[in-house]
Structure 1
């Protein structure tokens, strides 16, 4: 049933998902569609969450379960949610322990066949749920494309295609993984574990490390399913500047975990060639960020002599090119 004319007015906003919707006749090909459960964790994202909500509801998907777990927002998030609560399966706004905790609380409420969480600053692409449901098979994971964008840079275009999500390549950090494009059998999610609530940034990768060991069947979808927003407070931008300590600790723990006994080679490779170099280079960046170009170059080359293993990592040369040498031109 068409929702566009029933939802609150979008005012002067135009385009998807403001004055456009997925035509409901797209679902006429069959009478039974798998139930899709979507959780939106949110906290003080009133600037963006209405776009998220509308992009999900205006899929006009005939078997949708939509849950919003808000962490007690102080902005206008709750006011916006209340505008749409007639079409939301369940929502709550209360203090929580962070994003992973919110997702775990949402999963507890989910009863569908297909699951993903969509953050309150991202939004679904048109026809996303139809594409996911058409491709879905019980026990499988759907891996689609994600469109990254900046609101203040319309020229920026970056489509990420999830690739090579086998357990060994995922553990060795040689796959391409972008969470919003990963849609899972809810039973597989519940059988894996809870999302690690003491993880600030990498709880999704930590969770899926175990997930892809246990559940190996992946269907790759060539459609853009989600638009992923970069902005000043985006966690992804914060992660880019972090020292990867969470993942280093997690990977060291994996070496002692019996489930990952056959992946020790991949674990050690990820530590040696990616995670530890990222940490060393990140530490260097923090200490030398305010030095002049000559001092930075001298210090960076000195890092190579102090830690010669870094030259085996692509991160050493990427940082040299992007953050040191480009300032010489």
Structure 2
């Protein structure tokens, strides 16, 4: 009698969007094109008027849930999406980012093989607004000190976790508008080892209108709020600890090969599928 292969855990992906019709089709296809894993795909649109709803409806038969209605912003939309999530593994993909082929299978295999770990992240590729490759984002293993006192270096679209962990920490905090991911990762780190898969799993766009770039000063205030939870004394020592944390991160990234990393030709070729303008420069 042959042993039956274990069923890989299902994955819920939430995408929230508002007026992002330029990118949304490519983002959704990068999720729906994933193979060999069961996906529960949830799309929350904030009532866009730029044709986004037409794009969502084009793929409606492949979605577990979608809605297009006014909401209170990105974090509120994500919270709404995860309220409809039932799969064992969760993650979110912003409406201007992409998953690389095979990413979700890699993640699902990792969780099936590591039942004691409840959160894991991979690496990313930076791409421009048209989907052209810019540079790699190959990161270090999770280090709480570096995370708190240098910056949140985890690639958000390459981060995945078990639903039971999300529920345990009471999910996303609606009071965060920019650092909602860093806030969630910090609370995750109190309850589980956060692992790192040294593989490129996603692409993150880099362009002037990007929310995190345009509103960076407000993001710094939210980052400070996360640090302050670690203790008043440590928070007051941030000016002293920040340079130490940065040196530590640079050395760790150097040892991990992060500054000389190069994605494979196959990975770069896969991006052509998602170029907005359909031509490779």
TM-score of the superposed pair, with normalisation by structure 2: 0.76
CA distance in 1, matches of 2:52, 2:30: 16
Contact 2:119-2:188 within 8 A present in 1 as well: no
Per the alignment, residue 275 of structure 2 pairs with none
Highest relative contact order (Cα 8 Å, sep 6+), 1 or 2?
Answer: 2
SS of match in other structure, 1:176: coil
Q: Which of 107, 110, 116 matches 2:82?
A: 107
Q: Which of 179, 187, 203 matches 2:156?
A: 179
Contact 2:121-2:158 within 8 A present in 1 as well: yes
Contact 1:172-1:269 within 8 A present in 2 as well: no
Moved over 6 A (4+): 311-314
Residue 87 and residue 158 in structure 1: after superposition, are their counterparts in 2 closer, same or farther (change >3 A)? same
Contact 1:146-1:159 within 8 A present in 2 as well: yes
CA distance in 2, matches of 1:122, 1:156: 14
Matched, 1:118 2:93: yes
Counterparts of residues 92-103 of structure 1 (less than 5 Å): 92-103=67-78
Residue 173 and residue 86 in structure 1: after superposition, are their counterparts in 2 closer, same or farther (change >3 A)? same
Q: Which of 66, 71, 76 matches 1:91?
A: 66
Per the alignment, residue 262 of structure 2 pairs with none
Per the alignment, residue 76 of structure 1 pairs with 51
Deviations 1:149-187 (A, max 9, x none): 1136946213232x2324343223367322112111111
CA RMSD of aligned residues (A): 2.7
Q: Which has the larger radius of gyration?
A: 1
CA distance in 1, matches of 2:144, 2:12: 25
Query: Any gaps of 5 or more consecutive residues in structure 2?
Result: 247-281
Contact 2:37-2:104 within 8 A present in 1 as well: no
Query: Any gaps of 5 or more consecutive residues in structure 1?
Result: 1-28, 257-263, 275-310, 315-329
Per the alignment, residue 138 of structure 2 pairs with 160
Equivalent residue pairs, number: 241
